[in-house]
Amino acid sequence: MLRMIVNLLFLILMLVPCAIKGAEELKIGGIFYQDDDDLKVVFTLSAKLYNFTPTIRELSQRGETIEVSKHVCSLAEEGVIGILDGVGFQASEIIQALCDMMELPHVFIRHDIIDTKNWSVLNLYPAPSVYNLMLEELILHKEWKNFTLIYLKGHSLLRLSSLLMIGNDTDKYAVSVRELEGTDYRNVLVNAKENGYTNFVVDCPSKHLERLLRHAQQVGLMADEHSYIILSPDLFTLDMERYRYGGVNMTGFRLMNLTSNYRLWNFTNLFNLETGKNMQPEDLKTIAVLIHDAMLVFSAALAKLTNTQPQELYCENYDTWMYGSSLLNFMKTNKVDGLTRALVFDGLGQRSDVMFDVLELTSSGNQTVGYWKSDRLIIERPFVPDAEIIEETVLRNKTLKVLIATTPPYAYIKESEVQLQGNDRYEGFTVDLIEKLSDILGFGYEFEIENDYGKIIDRESGKWGGMVAKLMEERADLALCDFTITADRQSAIDFSIPFMTLGIAILYKEPSKQPPEMFSFMAVFSKEVWYYMVLIQLGLGMIMIFVGRISHKEWQNIVPCIEQPEELSNQFSFANSVWLIIGSVMQQGSEIAPIALAPRMITSIWWFFTMVMVASYVGILVAFLTVEKNVLPFNTPEELYEHKSISYGAKTEGSTIGFFKGSRNEIYKKMYQKMISRGWTVADNEIGVAIAENTTYAYFMESTSIQYYRERHCDLLQVGGLLDQKSYGIGMKKNSPYKIYIDDALLKLKESGEIQKLKTIWWQERRGGGKCGEKREVEQKQLGMKNMLGAFVVLGVGCLFGLLISTLDMLWGVFKRSVKYNTSFKYELVEELKFVIKFSGEVKPVKRPPKTDDGSAEALAEAEGKDEIKSLRSHYSIKSTSTQRTHHSHSSRHSSNGLNSLSIAFAKRREYT
């Protein structure tokens, strides 16, 4: 009843102009393109609603400007009271110039900007200043710090001028601009994606907007991280179903008020009756509704301007309409409530006071989240969360057909003594994975076996086979197996986020053990340790000589029966020192025994050092002599290609062989050609594994499959690293409404570790898993300087302490001699150092001769004494080694000749003193 009353009031309102103007015919002209059928219908319908006679002129093609002036002049000759411009662009400038000359109102319904200084124009489309203010407020609300402006070539940028200006403040905003041209926008969008752009402001006419959004989705710019602000008020008149579930944040605007707008509903019904269509009010294009509002503005102005008479005007006579300026002034100053809300204009004929609804695209459709009014942006979010709406309506309680492949360990035919039915017939990794997804999302599922993953049958027609074809033709909802995400497949179907990441590797049998090398015992220490060992022995030999010479206790009396000998002997010659050091290293000892404290300390430290070195050497030597190494014939695909006696291959169908076929690496291309020409490819992984296990055959397969087979075939191993990196995903049809929810569920399973648990179960536990256990490669580790540095440090510190003590011992001996012989300490020290630094002679005089001239009796006697002592030393040098070791305690063993010689020497020595 209420609707009938409203319809009656609406018809009465439509008849008001008739009562005011009587039976006088008022014509309004319209200029449109020939293919704008809907606009011409709306123009005719709106004119009749307000009792105007519509007169239409058509342009033959877009961009045609020559015939525009003819159409304007012909309309003027018919006596129209105004011209509605439905063409825009350059044609509008011609219309504007002629209307200005004849003072005819020119009503503009597009956003194209013409010279607003001409008084005769009236633009019902929102002014650029409105968009500038609204966009700036919206970007501040979204907290964008960087964004990209996308516009169509030839399109005005006045609506984006404020955004271009805020980009000058580089500390706050980073603004980039991308221009679209032609019919393929993907190159521009791919460039934007490669540069990491995620926020976009799009100024594009509605007729090009659908193509832009489709291309953005094709290049991957419609994901969760992407956000758009679309300036066209016709965004939500498009079919947005394909974009609802991608997670993209898309904001748009609407001029019409759909709430309780009975006039809009009636106008839509009249349009449907006229055209035979079944449109809803929200499906009407903005330009169509603005045509209706233009007629309303004309009608409201004429209601206030009485006695208006139309007039035939001729362009060649430069005629002007006397009522034109008055009519246009009323049109500008009137405030009329139209289908696009209040129609208010400024002095230049621009619509600057506009109210917009702000809408966002969600997975449940578009929702009004706020509005723009009186230069203010007001955001009011809906109360019910979007996720709660969709989870119930998209997946819950639905039954999906899921394609699986019986590829171990992803799916098996279950072994059972009784006949199983339905989903109970299958088990495996993907069977458990889909069960966990269904628990989260609340859907049912039915399995179907399909072992053909899908390949392009005809690239020109885009025809596919296998799983891909069934998903494209909606014969299945999901495909879950070791389904590799490839570029070709993504062009035909969609994939979920990856649930497993892998790569191609080489499966090969474990080579036989090789015995150790002949000189493997030398490999226990690194080369630098051996070098330092040799150098330290030589250096320590020099230190022992030095310490032995400055230590007075090392100077021993070779004839114990003489209480006060004139000369002493030292055992630390270079040969003896080196022999002591080498004997310690070899754990054999020597007859050399240090006597003084300092040599004994240095020798003790050296023995400790050799103990550490020998123990370390022996401990590692066993491994080097007993461990047999695996020697692989190749380690990389390049080495495999060069090997003449090893064949290699891959599965005939699948992404692995496709990798070699499409690779840009020349070696991989040649390997593919060789595999195909020699028939080295196999039909199934099981066959490839069996050949690799029993012959010299390297099999290329995905790393996850290699892990599976290695758990069950203990003599197989993976050689080298991964050749590439790829992922497995769940396949579904393009723009599937299930994608966003399956992605969320997979993320939850990955974060909770459930997917890793399933992998452990089916790779290492079930169906023979864990048979081989963990293989550990024995590593023959050399001992380097960083391992043995401590032993060297201890040796060095000990040598320094020995040098210090021997120096103190030398100084103490010098002091005692200076007291005993009543000489200066300095003199004795200098004489001692002179003797030491000669590094020659093993005999040392006890009392040095006083300073006398050469040839004196004392010097001669001293020389004779030394000769006797030297002859004595020569006599004892022929004795055996054992006799020398014990001559201090067994002097009675000397021969009588030796005693006589000693008596003569001592008698001569006493004679000199």
74-106 pLDDT, tens per residue? Answer: 999 999 999 999 988 788 888 988 999 999 999
Domain boundary among 355, 387, 419: 387
The DSSP code for 761 is I
Q: What mean pLDDT comes out for the span 170-183?
A: 82
pLDDT value of position 114: 62
**140-144, 324-328, 510-514, 536-540: which has the minimum mean pLDDT?**
510-514
818 or 177, which is more confident: 177
Task: State yes or no: cis peptide before 633, omega within 30 of 0.
Answer: no
Name the band, by pLDDT with cuts 50, 70 and 90, for residue 839. Answer: low
Does residue 565 form part of some domain? Answer: yes
Sign for the CA dihedral angle at 448, 451, 456, 457 comes to: negative
* pLDDT more than 70, % of the chain: 78
What domain count does the chain have? 5
Does residue 506 form part of some domain? Answer: no
Does residue 397 form part of some domain? Answer: yes
Does residue 640 form part of some domain? Answer: yes
Q: Same structural domain for residues 691 and 705?
A: yes
Nearest to 672 by CA among 515, 504, 884, 787: 504
Name the band, by pLDDT with cuts 50, 70 and 90, for residue 248. Answer: confident
pLDDT value of position 715: 81
Q: Same structural domain for residues 481 and 533?
A: no
Q: How many CB atoms are located within 10 Å of the residue 720 CB?
A: 16
**Using one digit for the tens of pLDDT, what is the confidence trace for 315-342?**
999 999 999 999 999 999 988 999 999 9
**Using one digit for the tens of pLDDT, what is the confidence trace for 291-302?**
999 999 999 999
User: What are the C-alpha distances in Å from 508 to residues 322, 718, 767?
Assistant: 97, 6, 22
Q: Same structural domain for residues 835 and 789?
A: yes
* DSSP H/E element including 367: strand 365-373
Does residue 262 form part of some domain? Answer: no
Q: What mean pLDDT comes out for the span 858-880?
A: 41
**Residue 440: both structure tokens together:** 């989260």
Does residue 351 form part of some domain? Answer: no
CA 854: distance to chain centroid?
93
Does residue 347 form part of some domain? Answer: no
**Using one digit for the tens of pLDDT, what is the confidence trace for 15-63?**
444 444 444 689 999 999 998 999 999 999 999 999 999 999 998 876 6
- The Cα 431–Cα 27 span in angstroms is 73
Q: Same structural domain for residues 374 and 244?
A: yes
Q: Same structural domain for residues 799 and 857?
A: yes
- In 488-596, DSSP assigns E strands to 494-495, 500-502, 504-509, 513-514, 555-556, 567-570
**Residue 681: both structure tokens together:** 């490819």
Contact by Cβ (8 Å): 106, 96: yes
Q: Same structural domain for residues 98 and 165?
A: no
pLDDT value of position 684: 84
Helices and strands: H and E segment counts in the chain: 30, 35
- Please name the residues in contact with 24: beta carbons below 8 A apart, sequence gap of 6 or more: none
158 or 29, which is more confident: 29
**Using one digit for the tens of pLDDT, what is the confidence trace for 795-813?**
677 678 777 877 887 788 8
Contact by Cβ (8 Å): 79, 310: yes
Q: Could you tell me the residue range of the domain that residue 166 belongs to? A: 131-254+363-387
Q: Same structural domain for residues 18 and 55?
A: yes
Q: Same structural domain for residues 707 and 615?
A: no
pLDDT value of position 894: 37
pLDDT value of position 431: 92
CATH code of the domain containing 189: 3.40.50.2300
The CA dihedral of 287, 289, 295, 301, to the nearest 10 degrees, is: -100
Q: How many CB atoms are located within 10 Å of the residue 855 CB?
A: 7
Q: What mean pLDDT comes out for the span 338-360?
A: 90
Q: What mean pLDDT comes out for the span 130-156?
A: 88
The CA dihedral of 777, 783, 784, 785, to the nearest 10 degrees, is: 150
Contact by Cβ (8 Å): 511, 633: yes
* DSSP H/E element including 717: strand 716-719
Q: Same structural domain for residues 382 and 409?
A: no
Q: Same structural domain for residues 760 and 813?
A: no
pLDDT value of position 126: 92
Q: Same structural domain for residues 485 and 411?
A: yes
Name the band, by pLDDT with cuts 50, 70 and 90, for residue 902. Answer: very low
- Whether the predicted pLDDT of 679 surpasses 60: yes
Q: What mean pLDDT comes out for the span 500-509?
A: 88
- The Cα 377–Cα 229 span in angstroms is 14
Q: What mean pLDDT comes out for the span 703-723?
A: 85
Does residue 774 form part of some domain? Answer: no
- The Cα 592–Cα 576 span in angstroms is 7
Q: Same structural domain for residues 233 and 87?
A: no
Name the band, by pLDDT with cuts 50, 70 and 90, for residue 383. Answer: very low
- The Cα 489–Cα 630 span in angstroms is 41
User: Apex CA 115: angle with CA 287 and CA 232, to 5°?
Assistant: 30
